[in-house]
Chain A
Amino acid sequence: MKTVLAALDASAAARPVLETALGFARLTDATVHAVHVTDGPVTTPESLATRAGVDLRLLDGPVDAALLDALAGAEVIAAVLGARATPGGRRPTGRHCGSVVEQARKPVLVVPPEAAGEAPRSIRRLLVPLDGTELTSRPVVDVLCPLLADQVEFLVLHVFTRDTMPRVLDDPRRDLELWGGEFLARHCPNATEIELRVGSVQAQVAAVTREQPADLIVLSWSQDSSPGHAAVVRDVLADTTLPVILLPALLE
């Protein structure tokens, strides 16, 4: 049985986490197990889980280690965490969330507190920024796509930067259509739609999510958030009100 862990705390982020977990579980034909690391009252997690008809397991120990241990379970396919406790926080993720996503060997959905909506959250359309490297595309193809049991739309976003600009465009409209089709075929064969933009990836992710409907942002990353790395992940998590699924790039 496939399981999606919903890491519920006592903050305002717990509700959108559970909604997102339920939505992702429906998408992947999995069951949601809520977990809570006991460090105080469990009223909020309990009531949320009960209302949603989801089992709640209480975990002991340091939060990061307990969540990572739970995530390592054989049946667990992904975890869903709140990005941070309160809306409008300056840091993209809270301390625990940041630590877990850096160490997780499985997909982790990070849910901003602003993402509250319906239960289960409808996840029908994924925004997938891809830079054309295996680092970003292989986790999508090899990890995420096999998990999906239900139909879902992929909107791939590729952002041309100064260094990755196409070299030749005879007829920009026709050639970009061709270029995009070939990009999808090479990097995300499940997708039928691609958005090609120019500029900074972070800005264009934000722009596309403003202009087009999307339910979940898919980001592959190397789990290195030291200075000079993971700028896109950091900025997207800081800016977006959509859940973000982080796929570890385990390319070995």
Chain B
Amino acid sequence: MAITESVTAAPGTFPGALTDRTFEALIFDWDGTAVPDRKADATAVRSRLEALCRAGVHVFVVSGTHVGNVDGQLGARPDGTGRLFLCLNRGSEVFEVQPAGPALVYRREATDDEEHGLDRAAALTIERLRAKGVSADVVTERLNRRKIDVIPEPEWSDPPKARIGGLLDAVTARLRAAGVTDIGEVVRIAAAAAADAGLAGARITSDVKHVEIGLTDKGDSARWAAHWLASRGITGGLVLVSGDEFGPVGGVVGSDSLMVVPELARAVVVTVGAEPGGVQDGIIQLSGGPNRFLEVLDAQLDRRDARRVPWMDEDPRWVLHLPEGAGTERTAEALGALCNGCAGVRGDGGGGHAQLFVVNGVYSDGDNPRLLPGPLWTALAVEPGQRDEHQQVDLRTGLLGRHEDTGLRAVRFVSMADPHALGVRAEGSAQDLQRIDGLGHPGAPDVSFEHTHQADAELARTTTADGVGIVVAARDREQVRDSRRVVERLAAWTAGPAPDWNDALERLSRIDRAGFDRLLAEHRAAWAERWQDAEVSIEGNADDELAARFAVFHLLSAAPGEGEAAVGARGLTGPAYGGHVFWDADVFVLPALAAIRPAAARSMLEYRMRRLTAARELATKRRRSGARFPWESAGDGSDVTPSLVPGRDGSPIQVRTGTHQVHIVADIAWAAVQYAAWTGDTAFLTGPGRDLVLDTARYWASRARYGPDGRAHLYGVMGPDEYHQVVDDNAYTNVMARWHLRRAAGIAEATGGDRAEGAAWRQLADALVDGLHPARGGYEQFAGYDDLEPLLVRDIAQRPVAADLLLGEDRLVGSQVIKQADVVMLHHLLPDEVAPGSLIADLDYYEPRTAHGSSLSPAIYAAVLARAGRPEEALELFRVAARLDLDDITGTTAGGLHLATFGGVWQALAYGFLGLRTHDDVLDVDPRLPSAWQALGLRLRFRGARIGVRADSDAVAISCSEPCFVRVAGGDRVRCDPPGRSFPWGADDEDGASRAGR
């Protein structure tokens, strides 16, 4: 409940919870709440409900009676975007009211056994009442329930709600005359009878005159509504539940209290009934009956008419509060970024410090391209001065909210449903809130900015010297009423070479026709759909859960589901790294998206595939064969890695990542295979992705050299550990290349490729040294690594630490201190390619040597430590990764969020703590939970099926939308059929218990 104590409001007034909030859905009881009785004229409520539906509000009428009664009385025929449902027959049926009338959308079908059980339970109840001297009859056999009249007397044949007090007295007197305490005792008798009749979970309800034994009740109606709403991103805090019987009557819980279900937590609950027995905490008591209910509806219509700022469901499990205070503005802007894969805008940060609007793949020109900053469209013009401002991001629905003690409220979105639609609405005192500022110059001096007005719209364009640009078209609305100003902007963007004003205007017209409320509703629904395949739940630690959801939120925001996606190091959340694409995208972000949003992963691969020509050219330039992807790329796929940077004294320093960090070639092939493994789209590797894997393999064939030892070597490379910049035979690079060559050979052979070439690749793969040291049982990171100073960073600094600054370059390169997972990264990516038993040896050896001075390191170690059965250590590093931006651990979050770390967070959860791995058509599940977590659940897609995996101390539960195969804890391959199955740990299964943190 949103309120912890019941609140009573005087006639004509409403408590703040009712007037301050715009509800997206109404769920209410019919008889006694919306109308005085079933014969009353419902014109007043009909007109209001139709108006609310026109305004986009979803309405659920809940009643125990049948559709003929309710529809006949209500007679509403809504024609708006809001939907009207009749949840009838006490939870057993749902009808949607359409222009042509009600249409059944759900019915609870009883089995024959249940029908017999209902009959038997009713007969037993009557029998037991008669035994006590109370005559009662089964008066009706309604759908899924039996209705027993406990006062079958003419005077009380059809009492109106208004006579509830008299009815209760009469029934109680009648029962007490027979020695039965009250109607509550009758309910208990019926419940016992139902249990004796074999009806598990029977719902027993009473309206005082009747006791009903049923399979469903109003709670089922509320749950159905909650589920339907949740699929559209509408959750409890956006819902108003109304009734007239929440409090107990004669020892029986009020029937409307059944609508207060956990699925609607944080809903505002209002009773308009007399409630003689009082109401539970959290319920607003208005009294006044249906007339008062109409006032509630009018208040909502007023809010809609005034275009008041929509409400955000402040669910603490989903809402992130942004940092506040001087000095945190830019960090808050990054954390408040909203992106839809195609475009992204940073948060507000208290007046705008480093605001940015960018479009995926649209870069400035020149040797060092960066994401082109587009026109700014979000700034509010408010009275200058100190402001007490609070901002929060609703991760569930992708909204950035702002509120101040002055009464100013604002909400904005970057539409997930229509990638070109942007919206912001704000309200405040007319004196304080002046307007939404005009489209603004992004402040970049090398970007040209044009500004114009056409067709009541404001347009602005930023362009580079070569004509690539971003256009934003915006149209504002303003309303001042009762000294409150409401301002609203809908905007559309278009981008690319020579972007046209008219394109943006056309998009704006379409968006404008839909309107803010509809766009927002579609945006919420699109986010709900995204989360269906991506939800993370961590029971036992709310902070970990929120941090994990924040990571997944930005993964889902990183790439569009069609076309191509250039996922830069900081995504679309900031200017750092210019939006350049690194291996981070392929190895950290893509595998997560392959599982939680396969279409976006495909877009990321498309980015690589469309730049194969550039990669071939780079290979040729470096006198190699095949395709060599650059370490950093932007729009055209050419190498944009800086080669020289100015040193402290101005002299140039050579940057070697571009020339030596060639493992990216295999990383991209690995990503393609991961995509195929998660999606089951194996045709991708033999079809559109074939050249991506094969051309890159050709690079290795030309890069490796045979040494005097007769083995193949990769000289002069840089592994993930950038503290040791030019080394020979980096184990990570070599084993990735080996795997790549073999995989490519297999694809080539399967697709009629050159058999000789495939054979040569296999021969080369077999000859490649991998650095395995049998004596130590693990891999030497590169040739000569073991001879370096055996310095353990664990012993000299608190980690993570930038050891390059701590130790200085000279000391660092001569030591075994490494920046990040390198050999351990190999274990993470290719667990089946490394020597059996080497994981533990390598973890023990490299972990103390790792500074975690890279944002990529902690999550990977967390994943591998968990897999190695060390979940408590894993949790420590998981938290570093998950909170990297939330706590600004790097001091650079202001420049944008670390997208790859978010990918690592998901991988730590999936590959590490849940132990997920794909093996052909089987999903391996092998959980290792830390003791702080009671349960971990992930939703994802595996080979097209919607999968849910949840592990706790009792079991691993798999849910699935289609049949799938799983293997739990190394057991047998097992088929799961929808809706899924559970794999309990045995009572004496100590291994299973320890995996689940028990």
Contact = CB atoms under 8 A, between A and B. Distances in A.
Interface of A: 160, 162, 165-175, 178-179, 181-183, 185-187, 198
A169 B802 contact: yes
A185 B804 CA distance: 25
A173 B853 CA distance: 14
A162 B805 CA distance: 9
B801 interface: yes
B391 to A, nearest CB: 18
A24 B179 CA distance: 100
A168 B852 contact: yes
A166 B805 CA distance: 8
A167 B890 contact: yes
A174 B894 CA distance: 13
21 contacts: A160-B805, A165-B802, A167-B802, A167-B889, A167-B891, A168-B890, A168-B892, A169-B805, A169-B890, A170-B855, A171-B577, A173-B645, A173-B655, A178-B891, A178-B892, A179-B892, A181-B894, A182-B330, A185-B327, A186-B326, A198-B808
A165 B577 CA distance: 22
B892 A175 contact: yes
B392 interface: no
Interface in B316-340: 326-331
B856 interface: yes
Contacts of B569: 170
A167 B577 contact: no
Contact of B805 (A182, A183, A187, A198): A198
A222 to B, nearest CB: 21
Interface in B101-136: none
B660 to A, nearest CB: 15
B895 interface: yes
B900 to A, nearest CB: 9
Interface in B794-830: 797, 799-802, 804-806, 808
A198 B802 CA distance: 12
Interface of B: 326-331, 353, 569, 576-577, 645, 655, 657, 797, 799-802, 804-806, 808, 852-856, 884, 889-892, 894-895
Nearest to B327: A186
Given A168-B852, A168-B884, A170-B855, A185 B806 contact: no
| Contact residues of B: prevailing secondary structure | loop
A166 B891 contact: yes
A170 B901 CA distance: 11
Counting from the closest, the 7 A-B pairs by CB-CB distance are: A186-B327, A178-B892, A169-B802, A168-B890, A178-B895, A167-B800, A166-B802
B895 A169 contact: no
B378 to A, nearest CB: 20
Nearest to A137: B327
A168 B801 CA distance: 6
B804 A168 contact: no
A181 B896 CA distance: 13
Contacts of B884: 168
Given A168-B890, A178-B892, A198-B806, 19 more contacts: A162-B806, A165-B801, A166-B891, A167-B801, A167-B802, A167-B852, A167-B853, A168-B884, A169-B802, A169-B805, A170-B569, A181-B894, A182-B331, A182-B891, A185-B329, A185-B894, A186-B328, A187-B327, A198-B805
Given A173-B645, A175-B892, A185-B327, A168 B800 contact: yes
The residue in A162, A168, A187 that gathers the most chain B C-beta atoms within 10 A of its C-beta is A168
Contact of A182 (B801, B852, B892): B892
Contacts of A186: 326-328
A90 to B, nearest CB: 32
B896 to A, nearest CB: 9
Given A173-B645, A175-B892, A178-B576, A165 B797 contact: yes
A178 B353 CA distance: 14
A165 B353 contact: no
Contacts of A181: 894
A174 B577 contact: yes
Contacts of A198: 805-806, 808
A225 B175 CA distance: 89
Contacts of A178: 576, 891-892, 894-895
A165 B891 contact: no
A91 to B, nearest CB: 33
Nearest to A171: B577
A186 B323 CA distance: 13
The residue in B327, B797, B799 that gathers the most chain A C-beta atoms within 10 A of its C-beta is B327
B555 to A, nearest CB: 18
A79 B576 CA distance: 44
A178 B852 CA distance: 19
Nearest to A197: B648
Contacts of A170: 569, 854-856, 890
A179 B891 CA distance: 6
Contacts of A172: 802, 804-805
A168 B894 contact: no
A171 B404 CA distance: 38
Nearest to B854: A170
A170 B899 CA distance: 13
Contacts of A175: 890, 892
Given A162-B797, A178-B895, A185-B330, A168 B889 contact: yes
Nearest to B584: A170
Nearest to B796: A162
Contacts of B894: 178, 181-182, 185
A169 B853 contact: yes
Nearest to A132: B891
Contacts of B804: 169, 172
Nearest to B891: A179
A168 B577 contact: no
Contact of A185 (B353, B852, B853, B890): B353
Contacts of B892: 168, 175, 178-179, 182
Nearest to B354: A185
A187 B890 CA distance: 17
A160 B802 CA distance: 11
Given A171-B577, A174-B576, A175-B890, A165 B895 contact: no
A173 B331 CA distance: 20
A186 B326 CA distance: 7
Contacts of B801: 165-167
Given A174-B576, A198-B808, A166 B890 contact: yes
A168 B805 contact: no
A185 B325 CA distance: 13
The residue in B329, B353, B800 that gathers the most chain A C-beta atoms within 10 A of its C-beta is B800
Nearest to A182: B894
Nearest to B898: A170
The residue in A171, A175, A181, A185 that gathers the most chain B C-beta atoms within 10 A of its C-beta is A171
A147 B164 CA distance: 78
A167 B330 CA distance: 19
Contacts of B852: 167-168
A66 B542 CA distance: 62
A183 B888 CA distance: 12
A171 B328 CA distance: 22
A185 B895 CA distance: 12
A182 B855 CA distance: 18
The residue in A160, A172, A182 that gathers the most chain B C-beta atoms within 10 A of its C-beta is A182
B641 to A, nearest CB: 10
B857 to A, nearest CB: 8
Nearest to A167: B800
Contacts of B800: 167-168
Nearest to A163: B798
B416 to A, nearest CB: 29
A170 B893 CA distance: 12
A138 to B, nearest CB: 10
A229 B987 CA distance: 62
A168 B330 contact: no
Contacts of A171: 577, 657
A172 B723 CA distance: 11
A187 B894 CA distance: 14
A26 B801 CA distance: 45
